[in-house]
C-alpha cells in the first residue's frame, strides 16, 4: 500500500468515525498510531481550499493524475513549454499543497513520460515482428535545417498513411548518410517495406537514393517545382508591384494635400502620378498572369482532366506543361525578370518525372484491377466513372485554395452526375458500390504529387525549435512516436493504424498506467520569529 492509499484510508476512516481519537482510527485502519498522526497532519495541511476534499478521494486523485499527466504530455512534450510555466499553472490551480509541482518535480515526470513513450514503441515493434507483413508504400523524403542549431533533420514518410519511417538528426545530407539512415530505420520496423516510388525535391542525393539505393523511380515534388517559379518570378513581380503601389499612394496623398490647401499641382507631379499608375497597372497584369499560369500548372498535373473528357496519361500531362514554358518565358522577358531561364530549365527537367508519376499511378490501378478479374463493363465503370468521382471529391476536400476549390467542385459535380447516369451504378447493390468506393478511395490516396505532409511536419518541428529550447535526438524520437501512434485524422485513425492495417493500444492511457503516483508536495517551512529570536 503506497502513501496515497494510506492517506485515503485514514481520510475515509476519519469521515466514518467522526471526531474519534487517533487510537481508534489506528485500530480501524490497522495502522500504527504514529502513522495515523503523521498522515492526519499531512491531510490537514492539504485541506486548505473548498475543493481539497475531492483530491483525497480515490476518484478525485485518479482524475488529478490524468490532469497532471495530460498537462505535461500536451504542453510540456508536444508544445515544448518549460517546467517553470507549468509550475506556475499548477499553482494557479491551487494544487501545490496536493502534489509536488516544483520545476524539478515536473521535469522528472516529463523525463519519465518521454522514456515511457519510447518503451511503448519498442513494445509495439516487438508485437509487429511476431506477425510480420509486407507493405508497398509511396514515400516522400526531405530534410530541414534549424538556424543556430547544428545538424540536419532527415525525414522519410509514407505519404499515403502519414507514417514517419525516418526522422533523425545527422551531420550531412549526402547519399551514403541517407542510405544508411533509411536502411537502419526500415530494419527496425516489424514489416517488410517495399518503396514503389520516392517523391522529393530532386536533390542529387535523393535522386540517387531512389534510383540506386532503393531501386524505385524518383518523382519530382510539384510543390518545389512551383516554388522555384515563385522565387524567380512571383517574388520579383510582387516586390515591384508593392514598391510601385507604395510610391503611387504617397503621390496620391501629396496631391490630395495640395487640393485641401488649395495649392496648385505641378505638371511634374501629375506626370509622376500618371507614370506610376501606368506602371502599377502593367505590373498588376503581370502578377495576374503569373497566378493564372501557376493555377494552370496545378490543375494540369492530375490523372483525370478537369473538363471531364477522361483520364490523362503522363504524355498528356507532359505535353500540356511544355506548352506553358514559352508563355512563362515571354512573361519573364516582358517584365525583365532575371534568372528566368534557370527557373524554366529546372521546371523543364522535372516534366518527365512528373509525367512518370502519373503513369506509375495508372500502372498501380491496372495491376489492382487485374487481380479482381472483372469484365470489361465493370472495369470501364470503375475507371471512367467511380475513380474520377472519388478523386475530385478528395481534391475538393483537402485543398484550401479558393480558386482551386471551385474548380475541383465543378469537376466533382460533373463526375458525380456521370456516375449516377451509368447503368451499372443502378444495377449494383449499395453494399457493392460501397466496397468499390473503398477500393477507389485507397487507389486515390496512392496518387501523391507533393511532399506537403513533410513540409507541415518540418514547420511543426521548426516552431518547437524556435520556442528557445531546441530539439535533441531523443526529443525527435519521442515526437516521432507521438506522430505515428497518437495523432488522429478526422476518421479517428492514427498513422500507424493506416500504415500497418491493425489497431494499437492508445498511447496516452497506456502511459498513465505506467507513470505511477504523483510526487508529494514539499513540506512547509517553519517561519522563524526574528523578533523573539533576537
Helix (H, G, I), strand (E, B) or coil at 220: strand
pLDDT at 181 (0 to 100)? 93
Q: How many residues does the chain have?
A: 534
Distance CA 74, CA 67 (A): 11
Q: Which has the minimum average pLDDT: 22-26, 120-124, 295-299, 326-330?
A: 22-26
Cα separation of 414 and 310, whole Å? 12
How confident is the model at residue 534, as a pLDDT?
A: 40
Comparing 516 with 139, which gets the higher pLDDT? 139
CA distances to 8, 49, 66 from 53, rounded to whole Å, are 10, 8, 17
pLDDT at position 4 is: 58
Closest CA to 193 of 205, 201, 202, 184: 184
The answer to whether 517 and 105 are in contact (CB under 8 A) is no
Q: Tell me, what's the pLDDT at 190?
A: 76
Averaged pLDDT for residues 79-87? 90
In this structure, the number of other CB atoms found within 10 A of the CB of residue 215 comes to 9
Each residue of 294-332: pLDDT tens digit?
A: 999 999 999 999 887 788 999 999 999 999 999 999 998
Q: What is the pLDDT of residue 532?
A: 46
* 13 alpha-carbon distance from chain centroid: 51
pLDDT tens digits along 414-445: 999 999 999 898 888 899 999 999 999 999 99
Q: Which pLDDT does position 22 carry in this prediction?
A: 60
Pick the range with the lowest mean pLDDT from 112-121, 145-154, 284-293, 481-490.
145-154
Query: Which of 3-12, 90-99, 509-518 shows the lowest mean pLDDT across its residues?
Result: 3-12
* 527 has a pLDDT exceeding 50: no
Handedness of CA 406, 412, 415, 416 (dihedral sign): negative
What are the CA-CA distances from residue 8 to residues 14, 36, 140, 174 (Å)? 10, 11, 54, 60
Query: Residue 531 above 50 pLDDT?
Result: no
The Cα–Cα gap between 149 and 462 comes to: 11
Give the pLDDT score at 44. 60
Q: Which residue shows C-alpha cell 507521438?
A: 482
Q: pLDDT tens digits, residue range 156-182?
A: 999 999 999 999 989 889 999 999 999
Q: Is residue 252 predicted with pLDDT exceeding 80?
A: yes
Report the mean per-residue pLDDT for the chain: 86
Phi–psi pair at 347, nearest 5 degrees: -65, -40
pLDDT of 342 over the 90 cut: no
- What's the pLDDT at 45? 58
Provide the 10 A C-beta neighbour count for residue 343.
Answer: 20
In a 13 Å sphere around the CA of 326, the CA atoms on its Cβ side amount to 3
Place of cell 532575371: 338
Amino acid at each position: 500500500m503506497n502513501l496515497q492509499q494510506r492517506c485515503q484510508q485514514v481520510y475515509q476512516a476519519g469521515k466514518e468515525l467522526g471526531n474519534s481519537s487517533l487510537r481508534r482510527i489506528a485500530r480501524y485502519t490497522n495502522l500504527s498510531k504514529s502513522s495515523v498522526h503523521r498522515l492526519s497532519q499531512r491531510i490537514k495541511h492539504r485541506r486548505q481550499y473548498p475543493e481539497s476534499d475531492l483530491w483525497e478521494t480515490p476518484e478525485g486523485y485518479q482524475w488529478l493524475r490524468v490532469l497532471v499527466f495530460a498537462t505535461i504530455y500536451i504542453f510540456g512534450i508536444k508544445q515544448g513549454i518549460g517546467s517553470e510555466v507549468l509550475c506556475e499553472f499548477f499553482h494557479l490551480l491551487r494544487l501545490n499543497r496536493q502534489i509536488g509541482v516544483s520545476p524539478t518535480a515536473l521535469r522528472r515526470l516529463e523525463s519519465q513520460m518521454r522514456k515511457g513513450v519510447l518503451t511503448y514503441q519498442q513494445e509495439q515493434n516487438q508485437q509487429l515482428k511476431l506477425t510480420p507483413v509486407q507493405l508497398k508504400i509511396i514515400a516522400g523524403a526531405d530534410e530541414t535545417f534549424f538556424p543556430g542549431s547544428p545538424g540536419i533533420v532527415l525525414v522519410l514518410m509514407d505519404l499515403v498513411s502519414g507514417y514517419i519511417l525516418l526522422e533523425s538528426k545527422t551531420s550531412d545530407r549526402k547519399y551514403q548518410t541517407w542510405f544508411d539512415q533509411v536502411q537502419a530505420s526500415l530494419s527496425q520496423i516489424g514489416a517488410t517495406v517495399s518503396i514503389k516510388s520516392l517523391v522529393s525535391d530532386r536533390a542529387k542525393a535523393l535522386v540517387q537514393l531512389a534510383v540506386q539505393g532503393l531501386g524505385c523511380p524518383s518523382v519530382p515534388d510539384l510543390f518545389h517545382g512551383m516554388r522555384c517559379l515563385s522565387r524567380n518570378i512571383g517574388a520579383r513581380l510582387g516586390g515591384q508591384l508593392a514598391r510601385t503601389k507604395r510610391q503611387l499612394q504617397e503621390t496620391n496623398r501629396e496631391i490630395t494635400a495640395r487640393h485641401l490647401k488649395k495649392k496648385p499641382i505641378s505638371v511634374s507631379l501629375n506626370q509622376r502620378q500618371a507614370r506610376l499608375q501606368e506602371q502599377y497597372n502593367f505590373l498588376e497584369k503581370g502578377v495576374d498572369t503569373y497566378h493564372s499560369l501557376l493555377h494552370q500548372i496545378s490543375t494540369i498535373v492530375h490523372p483525370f482532366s478537369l473538363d471531364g473528357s477522361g483520364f490523362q496519361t503522363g504524355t498528356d500531362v507532359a505535353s500540356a506543361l511544355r506548352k506553358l514554358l514559352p508563355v512563362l518565358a515571354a512573361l519573364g522577358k516582358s517584365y525583365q525578370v532575371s534568372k528566368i531561364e534557370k527557373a524554366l530549365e529546372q521546371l523543364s527537367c522535372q516534366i518527365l518525372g512528373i509525367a512518370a508519376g502519373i503513369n506509375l499511378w495508372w500502372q498501380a490501378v491496372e495491376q489492382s484491377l487485374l487481380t479482381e478479374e472483372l469484365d470489361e463493363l465493370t472495369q470501364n465503370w470503375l475507371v471512367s466513372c467511380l475513380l474520377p468521382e472519388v478523386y475530385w471529391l478528395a481534391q475538393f476536400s483537402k485543398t484550401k485554395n479558393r480558386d482551386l476549390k471551385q474548380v475541383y467542385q465543378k469537376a466533382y459535380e460533373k463526375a458525380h452526375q456521370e456516375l449516377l447516369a451509368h447503368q451499372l451504378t443502378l444495377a449494383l447493390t449499395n453494399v457493392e458500390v460501397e466496397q468499390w468506393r473503398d477500393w477507389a478511395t485507397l487507389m486515390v490516396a496512392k496518387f501523391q504529387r507533393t511532399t506537403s505532409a513533410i513540409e507541415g511536419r518540418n514547420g511543426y518541428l521548426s516552431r518547437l525549435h524556435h520556442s528557445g529550447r531546441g530539439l535533441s535526438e531523443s526529443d525527435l524520437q519521442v515526437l516521432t512516436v507521438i506522430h505515428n501512434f497518437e495523432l488522429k485524422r478526422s476518421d479517428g485513425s492514427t498513422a500507424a493504424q493506416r500504415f500497418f492495417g491493425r489497431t494499437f493500444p492508445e498511447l496516452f492511457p497506456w502511459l498513465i498506467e505506467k507513470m505511477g503516483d504523483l510526487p508529494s508536495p514539499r513540506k512547509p517551512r517553519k517561519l522563524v520569529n526574528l523578533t523573539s529570536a533576537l
